[in-house]
């Protein structure tokens, strides 16, 4: 009997190890590709053990260190400010919705939920944000449109407030004539730390991985591109050159395409920070998934 159970456990460990490897290997392949010699990469293909190691791709990136460093700085700044903004607005809204006897509660819930389904598309959004809100061509263009609040996060947090902040404590506080805002800061928020860090992480990831805002709102200021914009723009250019292949006069131009190695190197430097920061948030993140997944 015990043997049976032990066997099961060993099997579980083996399968989990395999799955873990499956999750990890593509990233390793990417990393190795970025330090593989370009000729070897073209000829022998992607491999985990390159025949010849060459840091040329990183040297190339280092040459344009100014641009890369700036893009990095912008990504970090935007992620930080955007996440702060997102958390504040989300918390405020979700807390309001968590009040069960709130007048207009179902209207507001529907108001939020509706945004998850309908959207007017690229051009109307662009017109509103650039012409009426004037966020284009500045860092606000990276921060405000689309990402500063998401219906999903509000619903997550509302659920958390209603399920994890005991009503009794709230009522007791109310009797102690604690104000509504005071209750938010003194009771609800301290009890909701895991949820806060989860929403923060979701939001930070969204900002970090976003390239759409830069594409739309930094048309005249591509010097303000974030690192994902640089990566995406490079991909798009490669795609463009593929499509307009051998236009004779354009021929010379096409020799500007960054090599595969360089593209892989940029991809690597765009994920590395996530990989580094993630373990610190891991616990809260998992907790957040649980809450969001089951109740969201």
Partner 1 sequence: MKKKAIAWVLTAVIALSCCGCGSTGDNAGAASDGTQAAATEAGGAAENGGALTEVSSDPSEWPVVSIQVPALTDLPDEPIVEDALNEYLVSINAGVKANLVQSSFGDLANQLTLMLSDNQNPLDLFCWRFYSTLDGCVKNEQCIPLDGYMEEYSDMWAIFPENVLKTQQIGGVQYAVPSVDSYGTYEVYNLQKDIAEELGIADRDGERITKEEMTQIMKNVVEKHPEMAAMINTNDEPFIGIDTFGNSNWLGVLLNRGVGTTEVVNLYETQEWRDYCYMMKDWADAGIFIDDPLNNELTISQYNNGIAAGCFLGGYSADYIKALIAYSPYESVQFQLTDLVGTSSSVLGGWMISTVCKNPDAAMKMLYLMTMDENVARIMILGVEGVHYTVDEKGIARRPEGVTQATSTWNQDCPWFYPNQCLSIPLETEMTTYYTDMLDAPNHAQFSEAMGFVFDSTPVYDQMAACTTVVAQYRDALLYGLVDVDSYLEKFNEELKAAGIDDIIAAEQEQFDAWRAAQ
Partner 2 sequence: MENKKLLKEKQRKQTRKKIKKYAPLYLCALPGFIYLIINNYLPMGGLILAFKKYSFAKGILNSPWNGIQNFTYLFGSKWAGIMFRNTILYNLAFLFFGTILAVFVAILLNEVRSMRAKKTYQTLILLPHLVSTVLIGYLVYAFLSSTNGFVNKSMLEPLGFAGIEWYTEAKYWPFIIVIVQLWRSFGFQSIVYFATIIGFDKTYYEAAVVDGATTWQQITKITLPLLKPTVIILTIMALGRMFASDFGLFYQVPQNSGLLYEATTTIDTFVYRTLMQDHDVGRSLAAGFLQSILGFCVVMITNAMVRKVEPDSALF
Considering only residues 202 to 231 of the shown chain, the ones binding partner 2 according to CB under 8 A are 205, 209, 211, 228, 231
Which one of residues 250, 274, 275, 290 is an interface residue with partner 1 (CB under 8 A)?
250
- Could you tell which of partner 1, partner 2, none binds residue 215, using a CB distance below 5 to 8 A set by kind? partner 1
Alpha-carbon distance of 86 to 203, in angstroms, equals 7
Alpha-carbon distance of 262 to 272, in angstroms, equals 15
Footprint of partner 1 on 85-124 (CB under 8 A): 85, 88-89, 91-92, 122-123
Which one of residues 76, 81, 89, 241 is an interface residue with partner 2 (CB under 8 A)?
89
* Contact indicator for 151, 93 with CB cutoff of 8 Å: no
Which one of residues 69, 127, 169, 251 is an interface residue with partner 2 (CB under 8 A)?
127
Alpha-carbon distance of 143 to 89, in angstroms, equals 13
Alpha-carbon distance of 142 to 78, in angstroms, equals 7
Which one of residues 29, 234, 269, 277 is an interface residue with partner 1 (CB under 8 A)?
234
**What DSSP line would sit under 23-49, residue for residue?**
HHHHHHHHHHHHTB-HHHHHHH-S-SS
Which one of residues 108, 235, 269, 271 is an interface residue with partner 1 (CB under 8 A)?
235
Which one of residues 225, 227, 270, 285 is an interface residue with partner 1 (CB under 8 A)?
225
Spell out the long-range contacts of 177-186 with Cβ–Cβ below 8 A and sequence spacing 24 or more: 184/91, 184/95
Length of the chain equals 296
Stretch that binds partner 1, among 11-19, 94-102, 154-162, 212-220 (CB under 8 A): 212-220
237 binds partner 1 (CB under 8 A): yes
Alpha-carbon distance of 70 to 218, in angstroms, equals 15
Which one of residues 78, 200, 262, 264 is an interface residue with partner 2 (CB under 8 A)?
264
Rg (CA), the chain: 24
- DSSP code for 127: I
45 binds partner 2 (CB under 8 A): yes
- Determine the Cα angle at 201 with ends 272 and 160, to 5°: 160
187 binds partner 2 (CB under 8 A): no
Q: Which residues bind partner 1 (CB under 8 A)?
A: 38, 42-43, 63, 67, 84-85, 88-89, 91-92, 122-123, 126-127, 130-134, 136, 185, 189, 215-216, 219-220, 222-223, 225, 233-242, 244-257
């Amino acid at each position: 009997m015990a043997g049976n159970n032990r066997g099961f456990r060993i099997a579980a460990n083996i399968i989990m190890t395999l799955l873990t490897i499956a999750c990890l290997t593509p990233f390793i392949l990417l990393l190795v590709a970025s330090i593989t010699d370009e000729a070897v990469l073209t000829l022998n293909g992607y491999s985990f053990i390159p025949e010849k190691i060459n840091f040329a791709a990183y040297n190339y990136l280092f040459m344009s260190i100014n641009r890369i460093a700036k893009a990095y700085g912008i990504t970090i700044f935007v992620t930080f400010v955007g996440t702060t903004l997102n958390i504040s607005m989300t918390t405020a809204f979700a807390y309001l919705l968590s009040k069960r006897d709130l007048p207009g509660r179902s209207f507001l819930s529907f108001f939020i939920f509706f945004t998850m389904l309908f959207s007017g598309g690229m051009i109307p959004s662009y017109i509103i944000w650039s012409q009426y809100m004037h966020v284009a061509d500045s860092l606000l263009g990276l921060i405000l449109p689309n990402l500063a609040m998401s219906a999903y996060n509000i619903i997550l947090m509302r659920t958390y407030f209603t399920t994890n902040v005991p009503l009794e404590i709230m009522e007791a506080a109310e009797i102690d004539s604690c104000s509504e805002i005071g209750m938010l800061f003194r009771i609800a928020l301290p009890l909701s730390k895991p949820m806060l860090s989860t929403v923060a992480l979701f939001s930070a990831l969204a900002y970090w991985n976003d390239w759409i805002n830069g594409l739309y709102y930094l048309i005249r200021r591509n010097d303000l591109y974030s690192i994902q914009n640089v990566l995406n723009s490079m991909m798009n250019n490669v795609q463009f050159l593929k499509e307009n292949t051998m236009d004779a006069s354009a021929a010379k131009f096409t020799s500007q395409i960054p090599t595969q190695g360089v593209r892989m190197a940029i991809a690597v430097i765009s994920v590395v920070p996530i990989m580094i920061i993630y373990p610190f948030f891991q616990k809260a993140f998992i907790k957040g998934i649980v809450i969001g997944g089951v109740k969201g």
